[in-house]
Structure 1
């Protein structure tokens, strides 16, 4: 049986290792951080993902964790899978992955297959210096925060970058990929590295279309939610198109890919001005909540208190990377805030006038308005009537349409959301 190793036990490596172990492979998770490994062995996971605790726990002895690099020696396939940090400009710090490869390669069997799973810029894998290993690949990861377990156990396809895409894949790597019963698309290294960026570009394009036209709807009295079904029935667009408006691009991964293509375009003389337009549109829509709350509450009542539900950049994650909620808060200095998020502590806001609450409704007491800035599913279960009963004011900003608009109006709330004007509600 093929033995699989993963180097780097943060979000990407841990979820991916658990997914491979779920297919029956003996899997070794390596990280040099001894404290992290001790916590993993004790069942304390460093990341939150729905279903991940069960996925790791159910694997038993098939999934082991170690801080001893020599334990990767028996592995036939070793994935290099640390999360790659990015700076404020979206630039990746690939020194992390270089250092990890240098650490693990001497411990590997020369016949082992090295697979770069972390996202890297085009050209990285071919330029990689790992002479002790005869075979190396780049595999595109398409995990989504909040849906990572689903994405790793039920992949849509595998995209594999190869030195020669015409040659058969390594038998051990092919065995691992076949276990997931999905299409495998071999291609040259650079194509695979760019394919990941292409996927995210299509997503950014869809988000930008939705946000641009949703704002038009708000201005003319149309309703974007009525238009979306018509688009999804068009075969050129498709039923799975991401057409829900939101508060811009967030999380760091999409921003990284935009920055990567901008750098490539500048270096190679290609035209990537569309990226600048997408980024400008994202910033504009990110600021919707701050603009709207100023117009409908703060301009008339500058001493108002605001309740905010949601601090994470999206639901089902604890990540606050480029969070629209935190960006909104930054635009509201000196405003007293009453905060709730099921995974993120209120202390991340760093405000004296910001108070966190364990229960959603408790955050509403004394607040002049509510802003729902992360669409956590639990917020949708709260009746608008209960919100109206606890909220001092009547204004609710719900950009992601977590609440039922008709129920909110029936409860007497002044309800604002993306994609439709308040007058159309």
Structure 2
């Protein structure tokens, strides 16, 4: 068949990145959002999300993309994805109210023969419970990664599709669109697809928790975790793409939501989910590594110290601060004065009573008793330890992700502290 016209409803991170990625494969896109002001900004090329290369991809494919606040425009589509971001609360519980409302709007404004696909992450049972007589409703697992969205939407490893009857072929419009990406397509029952996304994230959490736990062992016995990782990457049972870099727990919202979902399902059905609760505990414990280090090295002696904090986003190359380790740190050091810089995220007064945003990394270091690099933005790696030493009043550099070279820091007279390395 000829190329179908594809619609995306919900211009948040997921829907916007997915739609722009689909346009790069030569499909015409109808991008709907009920927020008329947002649509006008999108028409002007002003993206509400930060993703490397996304602006360029939008510019290159702009002729194939139509932004609209009129749901009736979706009637031109053969295939429509319902793709808003799903908010979660502090317990990892999803609020599906907005998704349900948008799904109803899409079903009311699409042709009866149009394929409708739920792309937002949902709990097992969601899609089957919303089937409608005479409509083609499917589920597709989203696998976006903040900071790597362009890569993930243009070069997917596979498509995981939830269907009512796995043995039947997909509708032509849906099949044509998916095959344009040149990757395996895995149809399965709705509940299997919905749980697959959670299963992927559980495996990621297991890797992260293992790395964090063993990295801390390294810190206490004189080993170096970065020397161990290459050996693990060469083990085929683990592999070169494993999540083995130690970090400050899990953040961003998605992984936390999936762990909370498994705990709730386990409690409901009598399954032992103690290991999942252990992952949750490990994540909270590892998140506070910076706080423990800062207290022992600086705050125990000087509670009202001036601190330079680089990075507010929960990780590099994104604007998201959901469960950010940096914000968690700020909430626990109220007596200190904080000078902060992030290349994307502007500081908010409610995050800390003595918080001051600065115009550059070195300006944030001016007169500080310690430097803390919480988010490993690539540009932080270009900082020269000798320049940092000139601006700091103190000598402590807490750098969990090794943005700076430890030997160069020590040569500049700085005490450099990182995850997985003994001090």
- Cα distance in 2 for partners of 1:265, 1:101 equals 28
Corresponding residue of 1:382: 383
CA contact (8 A) 2:305 2:369 kept: yes
User: Where does 1:155-234 land on structure 2 (aligned, <5 Å)?
Assistant: 155-234=156-235
Structure 2: give runs of 5+ residues left out of the alignment: none
SS of equivalent to 2:236: coil
Corresponding residue of 1:290: 291
SS of equivalent to 1:155: coil
C-alpha offsets along residues 145-171 of structure 1, whole Å, 9 cap, x if unaligned?
000011001111111111111111111
- Deviation of 1:349 after TM superposition, in Å, equals 5.0
- Deviation of 1:61 after TM superposition, in Å, equals 2.2
CA contact (8 A) 2:82 2:106 kept: no
Corresponding residue of 1:346: 347
- Cα distance in 2 for partners of 1:99, 1:60 equals 28
The TM-score with structure 1 as length reference comes to 0.98
- Deviation of 1:89 after TM superposition, in Å, equals 0.5
Deviates more, 1:238-247 or 1:51-60: 51-60
Deviates more, 1:53-62 or 1:231-240: 53-62
C-alpha offsets along residues 210-230 of structure 1, whole Å, 9 cap, x if unaligned?
000000000111100000001
- Cα distance in 2 for partners of 1:258, 1:44 equals 34
- Cα distance in 1 for partners of 2:84, 2:282 equals 31
User: Where does 1:17-32 land on structure 2 (aligned, <5 Å)?
Assistant: 17-32=19-34
CA contact (8 A) 2:380 2:403 kept: yes
- Deviation of 1:95 after TM superposition, in Å, equals 1.2
SS of equivalent to 1:409: helix
- Cα distance in 1 for partners of 2:24, 2:354 equals 46
- Cα distance in 1 for partners of 2:174, 2:247 equals 39
- Cα distance in 2 for partners of 1:132, 1:371 equals 57
Corresponding residue of 1:360: 361
Pairwise CA RMSD of aligned residues?
1.0
C-alpha offsets along residues 304-329 of structure 1, whole Å, 9 cap, x if unaligned?
21100001100011111000011011
1:123 and 2:125 aligned: yes
SS of equivalent to 2:313: coil
- Deviation of 1:137 after TM superposition, in Å, equals 1.1
Corresponding residue of 1:303: 304
Corresponding residue of 1:142: 143
Corresponding residue of 1:68: 70
- Cα distance in 1 for partners of 2:303, 2:175 equals 62
Corresponding residue of 2:51: 49
Deviates more, 1:350-359 or 1:323-332: 350-359
- Deviation of 1:303 after TM superposition, in Å, equals 2.9
CA contact (8 A) 1:369 1:394 kept: yes
Corresponding residue of 1:2: 4
The TM-score with structure 2 as length reference comes to 0.98
SS of equivalent to 1:236: coil
CA contact (8 A) 1:105 1:130 kept: no
- Cα distance in 2 for partners of 1:26, 1:347 equals 39
Corresponding residue of 1:13: 15
- Deviation of 1:140 after TM superposition, in Å, equals 0.5
CA contact (8 A) 1:213 1:224 kept: yes
CA contact (8 A) 2:327 2:351 kept: no
SS of equivalent to 1:338: strand
- Cα distance in 2 for partners of 1:19, 1:365 equals 42
- Deviation of 1:8 after TM superposition, in Å, equals 0.4
Corresponding residue of 1:90: 92
C-alpha offsets along residues 244-282 of structure 1, whole Å, 9 cap, x if unaligned?
001101010000000111111111111111111001111
- Cα distance in 2 for partners of 1:417, 1:380 equals 14
- Cα distance in 2 for partners of 1:336, 1:281 equals 29
CA contact (8 A) 1:309 1:360 kept: yes
- Deviation of 1:173 after TM superposition, in Å, equals 0.6
Deviates more, 1:199-208 or 1:302-311: 302-311
CA contact (8 A) 2:8 2:82 kept: yes
CA contact (8 A) 2:330 2:351 kept: no
